[in-house]
C-alpha cells in the first residue's frame, strides 16, 4: 500500500521547558519558524492543521483555529486533531491528505502545549464515565504505573536490569545536550539515574520523562511545487495510525483491565509492533533501511521495547543493541538523536511533530552537534492512548 508522498519543506520549534505562558504563543513561535524555514508567507498556506491540547480550555480543543487566528485569519482551510499523544501525527496525516487530494499546495501543521507540573491528571470535575478519571480515582494509577508494569515485565521476560534502563537515559541525555530545543541539556551518568528516587518500582525519576511546555511545526508541500525549491528534498512517505487488534493482551493506559482472550487469540503482531509495520508497508521500506529513529521513550524501559517493536532486533535483545552502542549517534542505527522525551519531556500535541522536525533536519544535514552521518531514511513512532498508534516515515 502506498499513501503517496509530500515534501517537508519547513520545520520550527519553540524550546521545551516550563515557561509559564500559553500554548498559542508557543505554537505561533514554532509556526513562524517553520514558515521562515520554508521561505513562504503565512498567507501562502492553504491548510492549517492544529494538534489539540485538552489542558487549556476552549481554544485548546480548536487548536487549528487558535493558531490560525493568532497568525492572522487568512481564509485557509483548517482542521483540529485530537488523538492524545498521537495528535501531532494525526494533524500531519490530515494535512498530507489535503495536499494529496489536490485541495492545497502547502499546509502548516502546528502542535503546542503548556503542561502541568508533576503527573498528568484527567480533566477536573466528577466524571465517572471517563476511563481516564476512573483509573485515577479507583486505582491511583498514574502514567508511570503503566510504564512500570511494562518495565517489570521486561525484567521478568528478558532479564533486563535497572542499569540497562539507566543506559538509555545516559545515551539520550548525551544526545539532548547538543539540541538547543531540548529542555534538559546536562549529561547524566548511570550512577545518577540509579540514585534518583523511585517513582514506580522499578522505575526512578530519571527513567521517566517529565511534563513540559513546548511546540513544533511543519510546512508540508506538494512534491511538484517543492521540487522548485533549493536544498535536499525531504519526503514524507508514510503517516499511519492504527488501532490495536482485539484481543489486546497488554494492559495499556488508561485501562483497568485487558481484553479477555477467551473467545479469540491475540493477533500474531502485537499492537506496538503493528504501528511501525503499518508505516513500513505504506512507505515501502523496512527496518533495515532506517538510518535513524525517533521513538516514544516515555520511560527508559519503553525505549528498549520499541527497538524490538520497530524491528531493529529480535524480542529480548534490545539491551545488547544498546550496550554495543548501535543506537547512539555514530552507531549503526541511532535512536532518539534529538535526545528524545528524556531530554524534552512531554508536550503532548507537539511531540510527534517534534519527532518529524528532528528527522527532517537530520536528513537535511542540519542537526548541528548531533548529526547522524549520511542519514537518508528515518522513522518516528508514538502511541497515543485510547488506541492511537502512529508512525511516520521520512526519506531523502
Partner 1 sequence: MGTRRVSAAEGWFTVDADGPHLLGTRCAACGTVHFPPEHGFCRNPRCTGEDLPGIRLSRRGRVWSYTDSRYPPPAPYIARSDPYEPFTLAAVELAAERIIVLGQTVPGVTVDDLEIGREMELAADVLHTDGEHEYLIWKWRPRAWGAGGVER
Site for partner 1, rule CB under 8 A: 118-119, 121-122, 124, 126, 128, 133-134, 136-142, 145, 148-150, 152-153, 156, 197-203, 245-247, 249, 251, 255-264
Q: Is the omega angle on the peptide bond into residue 254 within 30 degrees of 0, that is, cis? A: yes
Rounded to a whole number of angstroms, the minimum distance from the CB of residue 137 to partner 1 is 4
Give the Cα separation of 171 and 339 in Å (integer).
Answer: 8
**CB of 152 or CB of 174, closer to partner 1:** 152
**CB of 260 or CB of 368, closer to partner 1:** 260
Residue with cell 536544498: 231
Q: What three-state secondary structure class fits 395?
A: strand
**CB of 56 or CB of 371, closer to partner 1:** 56
Rounded to a whole number, what is the largest CA-CA distance in the chain?
58
How deeply is 314 buried, as exposed, middle or buried, from its count of CB atoms within 10 A (0-12, 13-18, 19+)? exposed
142's grid cell: 498514574
Closest C-alpha among 360, 311, 367 to residue 339: 367
**CB of 163 or CB of 264, closer to partner 1:** 264
Rounded to a whole number of angstroms, the minimum distance from the CB of residue 158 to partner 1 is 12
Rounded to a whole number of angstroms, the minimum distance from the CB of residue 141 to partner 1 is 6
Give the Cα separation of 144 and 142 in Å (integer).
Answer: 5
**CB of 9 or CB of 200, closer to partner 1:** 200
Angle separating helix axes 300-309 and 162-176, nearest 10 degrees: 90
Report how far apart, in Å, the C-alpha atoms of 167 and of each of 194, 300, 369 are. Answer: 10, 8, 21
Rounded to a whole number of angstroms, the minimum distance from the CB of residue 212 to partner 1 is 17
Gyration radius from the chain CA atoms: 20
Rounded to a whole number of angstroms, the minimum distance from the CB of residue 199 to partner 1 is 6
**CB of 113 or CB of 358, closer to partner 1:** 113
Rounded to a whole number of angstroms, the minimum distance from the CB of residue 80 to partner 1 is 26
Amino acid at each position: 500500500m502506498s499513501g503517496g508522498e509530500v515534501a517537508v519543506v519547513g520545520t520550527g520549534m519553540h524550546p521545551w521547558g516550563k515557561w509559564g505562558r500559553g500554548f498559542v504563543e508557543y505554537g505561533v513561535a514554532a509556526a513562524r519558524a517553520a514558515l521562515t524555514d520554508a521561505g513562504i508567507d503565512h498567507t501562502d498556506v492553504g491548510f492549517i492543521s492544529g494538534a489539540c491540547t485538552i489542558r487549556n480550555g476552549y481554544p485548546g480543543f480548536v487548536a487549528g483555529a487558535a493558531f490560525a487566528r493568532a497568525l492572522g485569519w487568512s481564509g485557509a482551510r483548517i482542521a483540529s486533531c485530537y488523538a492524545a499523544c498521537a495528535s501531532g501525527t494525526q494533524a500531519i496525516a490530515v494535512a498530507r491528505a489535503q495536499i494529496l487530494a489536490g485541495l492545497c499546495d502547502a499546509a502548516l501543521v502546528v502542535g503546542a502545549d503548556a503542561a502541568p507540573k508533576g503527573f498528568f491528571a484527567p480533566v477536573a470535575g466528577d466524571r465517572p464515565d471517563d476511563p481516564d478519571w476512573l483509573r485515577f480515582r479507583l486505582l491511583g494509577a498514574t502514567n508511570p504505573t503503566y510504564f512500570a508494569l511494562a518495565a517489570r515485565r521486561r525484567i521478568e521476560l528478558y532479564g533486563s536490569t535497572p542499569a540497562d534502563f539507566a543506559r538509555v537515559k545516559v545515551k539520550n541525555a548525551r544526545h539532548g545536550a547538543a539540541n538547543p530545543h531540548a529542555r534538559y541539556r546536562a549529561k547524566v551518568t548511570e550512577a545518577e539515574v540509579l540514585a534518583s528516587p523511585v517513582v514506580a518500582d522499578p522505575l526512578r525519576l530519571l527513567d521517566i520523562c517529565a511534563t513540559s511546555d513546548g511546540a513544533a511545526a511543519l510546512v508540508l508541500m506538494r512534491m511538484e511545487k517543492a521540487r522548485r525549491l533549493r536544498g535536499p528534498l525531504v519526503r514524507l512517505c508514510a503517516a499511519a495510525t492504527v488501532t490495536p487488534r482485539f484481543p489486546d493482551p497488554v494492559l495499556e493506559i488508561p485501562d483497568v483491565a485487558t481484553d479477555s482472550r477467551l473467545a479469540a487469540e491475540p493477533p500474531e503482531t502485537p499492537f506496538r509492533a503493528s504501528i511501525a509495520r503499518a508505516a513500513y508497508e505504506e512507505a515501502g521500506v523496512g527496518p533495515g533501511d532506517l538510518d535513524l529513529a525517533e521513538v516514544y521513550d516515555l520511560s527508559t524501559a519503553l525505549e528498549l521495547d520499541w527497538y524490538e517493536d520497530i524491528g531493529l532486533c529480535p524480542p529480548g535483545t534490545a539491551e545488547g543493541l544498546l550496550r554495543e552502542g548501535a543506537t547512539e549517534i555514530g552507531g549503526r542505527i541511532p535512536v532518539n538523536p534529538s535526545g528524545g522525551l528524556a531530554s524534552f519531556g512531554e508536550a503532548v500535541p507537539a511531540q510527534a511533530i517534534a519527532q518529524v522536525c528532528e528527522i527532517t533536519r537530520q536528513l537535511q544535514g542540519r542537526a548541528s552537534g548531533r548529526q547522524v552521518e549520511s542519514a537518508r531514511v528515518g522513522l518516528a513512532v508514538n502511541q497515543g492512548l485510547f488506541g492511537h498508534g502512529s508512525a511516520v516515515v521520512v526519506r531523502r
